[in-house]
Amino acid sequence: MAVDTKSALGPRGQASQAALAHVPNIPGSAKPDPILDVHSVKRSFGGLTAVDVEQVQVQRGAITALIGPNGAGKTTFFNLLTGFDAPDTGEWTFNGQQVAGTAPYKLARRGMVRTFQLTKALSRLTVMDNMLLGAKGQTGEHIYAAFFPFLWSKQERANRERAMELLSRFNLAEKSADFAGSLSGGQRKLLEMARALMSDPELIMLDEPMAGVNPALTQSLLHHIKDIREEGTTVLFVEHDMDMVHDIGDWVIVMAMGQIIAEGPPGAVMKDQNVIDAYLGTHHDKELTESGKSLTVDSDPEGTHS
């Protein structure tokens, strides 16, 4: 299956991989066309430095994977970049504009939309309402206009149509009238992704989109992520399963202990000794993938001796 998805590389995928071909595989390397440019971002919780990133750039139009073992600081880094958490120091630009210290909702409006590791489907709203919330610039969201449906009903209809299109693409169309809380875990992941796309983001940041999703749905998620890139949206996603990353990542950034320890195309990164050490630590005999993990971890569940 892995080969299958790899072969289906669209024109934009080919373009972004070609653009990244000459970028040196070192942490913090400069990209030809960065959409996100991060400098010395640091965040500590008490004595623990969760994130300490010197420099990292994300290439526009590519699928960049941010990987790393548990506790590497990936989600914290995500929270910092999207404004959900404030760093101790550091600055970063989005589309060339300084955005450090910008409120998270403003960043979302500028086209930097994220999803969450623990899906935040709005349970007691219908799937359709979830989708409609994603649409930007709605007149009816202003409290005074809300009283006068004729001011926004036309826009609402257009948003509804667009939401329906996205839902059919993500195989959720027949669920549109159901409460989002009634969806399965995987469907919620799909809904969250579709909802984020409602705003036509320039950069979509997915926090572990494949976590807790069954293998069949994972394949469809991977296809969706590639489709998103083919439509011109930059994708940055967090993942810790190397197999998924190998399938769809144009570029991989590896974090460990809060720092960027390696960068490069998936193939090169997986062979990097730093990455292998960071990932496996003392578990040198273990597979890098989820399936491999489940086979071998049983023999040493806590990793206490090796």
Partner 1 sequence: MDIGFVLAQSITQALGVTAIIYCLAAIGLNIQFGYTGLLNFGQVAFVTVGAYSIGVVVVTMGLSLWLAIPIALLASVILALILGIPTLRLRADYLAIVTIAASELLRLVVRSIALRDIFGGVNGINGKIGEQFHALNPLPAEFVTPYLTFSRQDAWVVLVGWVIIAIISFGVWLLVRSPWGRVVRGIREDEYAVVSLGKNVFVYKMQALILGGMVGAMGGIIWAIAKQSVQPDTFVPDVTFFTYTILLLGGAARIFGPIVGAILFWFLLAGVGEFLSQAIQAGWIDFLKPTDVGPIRFILVGIGLMSLMIFRPQGIFGDKRELALDGR
Instruction: Using CB under 8 A, list all residues that contact partner 1.
Output: 82, 84, 103-106, 108-109, 113-116, 120-125, 129-130, 132-134, 136, 138-143, 145-147, 149, 152, 156, 179, 181-182, 195-196, 198-199
Distance in Å, CB of 63 to partner 1, minimum: 20
Q: Cα dihedral angle (209, 210, 214, 220), rounded to 10 degrees?
A: 70
The rounded Cα 88 to chain-centroid distance in angstroms is 23
The smaller minimum CB distance to partner 1, of residues 112 and 270, is found at 112
From residue 203, give the alpha-carbon distance in Å to each of 110, 114, 233: 9, 8, 6
Shortest gap between Cβ of 147 and partner 1 (angstroms)? 5
Residue 99: CB atoms within 10 A of its CB come to 20
Which residue, 82 or 234, has its beta carbon nearer to partner 1?
82
Q: Residue 229 Cβ, how far from partner 1 at the closest point, in Å?
A: 20
CB 51 within 8 A of CB 238: no
Cα(245)–Cα(5) distance, integer angstroms: 12
CB of 149 to partner 1, least distance (A): 7
- Tell me whether residue 191 or residue 269 sits nearer to partner 1 (CB atom): 191
Angle at 255 between CA 253 and CA 261, to 5 degrees: 80
Q: In the 8-state DSSP scheme, what is residue 137? A: S
For residue 142, the minimal CB distance to partner 1 (Å) is 7
Question: What ranges in the chain are assigned the alpha helix state H?
Answer: 2-7, 11-20, 74-81, 104-109, 127-134, 143-146, 149-169, 185-197, 215-230, 242-248, 266-271, 273-280, 290-296
Nearer to partner 1, 85 or 230 (CB): 85
Query: Cβ distance 67 to 239 under 8 Å?
Result: yes
Nearer to partner 1, 21 or 143 (CB): 143
User: Least distance from C-beta 181 to partner 1, angstroms?
Assistant: 3
114 vs 286, beta carbon nearer partner 1: 114
Nearer to partner 1, 70 or 105 (CB): 105
The nearest distance, CB 80 to partner 1, in angstroms, is 14
